[in-house]
Amino acid sequence: MPDKTSNLTISILVIEDDLQISQFLQSSLKTSGYHTLCASTIASGKQIFNEHKPALIILDLNLPDGDGRDFIAHIRTSSDIPILVLSARQSEQEKVACFDLGADDYLAKPFGVNELLARIKASLRRTAMMALRDDIFKLDDLTIDTVNCSVLINNLPLHLTPIEFKLLFILAKKPGKVFTHRQLLSEVWGAEYVDDTHYLRIHMGRLRARVEKTPAAPRYILTEVGIGYRLAAT
């Protein structure tokens, strides 16, 4: 049986125009103890978001009054709320576009409810961890202090180049979240370098060689093939 006690105050906004899927999501989330808010359009989704401030958004892309990607862009102007895209669009380009706009996760339809619930829990856990960790990320032997700009391995200082520091600190902003190649290139090198993925591969390779015990089987810096990189959250 799912543990409902910790989910009772957690509201999830579902933006889905397919009534059958929406009802299935409501039922599945309710069974797991979440409170659901439902919208079938971008306009109603914006209104509900502004009025109720949910903890997480599940978003379809094909909506009657526009593309769900426009909703992601709108939300990201004012909020870091986790956004989980749930869509029949399965191309790598669609996923990259959503991640570039600020989506936290992407699950293709048809989907399994257990996987969906696991993704929700992971997103909410990342949010809670960011709120509580006081700008220090720690996992196994790795410690990243983003305020003091220090990285430790086994409590010993790790000396990184400025670019390696930047890449690692960007990933540490949201452990577990995928950052696309374009996002990382833009933040570290500038907008004019967003297509130069070879720069990123070279420096990520060097960063892994410094951080990982076994760079070929990384523990901390994980690759999302064709999309980007993320820092392991657990």
In angstroms, rounded to a whole number, what is the distance separating the alpha carbons of residues 52 and 39?
12
Contacts of 225 (CB under 8 A, 6+ apart): none
Range picked from 34-38, 108-112, 122-126 for highest mean pLDDT: 34-38
Contacts of 110 (CB under 8 A, 6+ apart): none
What is the 3-class SS of 54-120, one letter each residue? Answer: CCEEEECCEECCEEHHHHHHHHCCCCCCCEEEEECCCCHHHHHHHHHHCCCEEEECCCCHHHHHHHH
CATH number of 5-130: 3.40.50.2300
pLDDT tens-digit readout, 181-226: 999 999 999 888 888 899 899 999 999 999 999 999 999 999 998 8
Strand order of the sheet with strand 156-157?
136-139, 142-145, 150-153, 156-157
Over range 66-71, report the average pLDDT.
95
In angstroms, rounded to a whole number, what is the distance separating the alpha carbons of residues 76 and 145?
25
Q: How confident is the model at residue 131 (pLDDT cuts 50, 70, 90)?
A: low
Over range 50-55, report the average pLDDT.
94
CA torsion 169→85→96→126, rounded to 10°?
10
User: Does the 134-231 domain belong in CATH 1.10.150.20?
Assistant: no
The pLDDT of residue 2 is 46
Residues of the chain with CATH 3.40.50.2300: 5-130
Q: State which amino acid sits at residue 178.
A: V
Cα-flanking dihedrals φ and ψ of residue 225, to 5°? -55, 125
Cα-flanking dihedrals φ and ψ of residue 121, to 5°? -60, -40
Structural tokens at position 172: 């540490």
pLDDT tens-digit readout, 2-32: 444 455 579 999 999 999 999 999 999 999 9
- Residues 204 and 150: beta-carbon distance below 8 Å: no
Q: How far, in Å, are 4, 131, 186, 189 from residue 195 at the CA level?
A: 45, 33, 9, 11
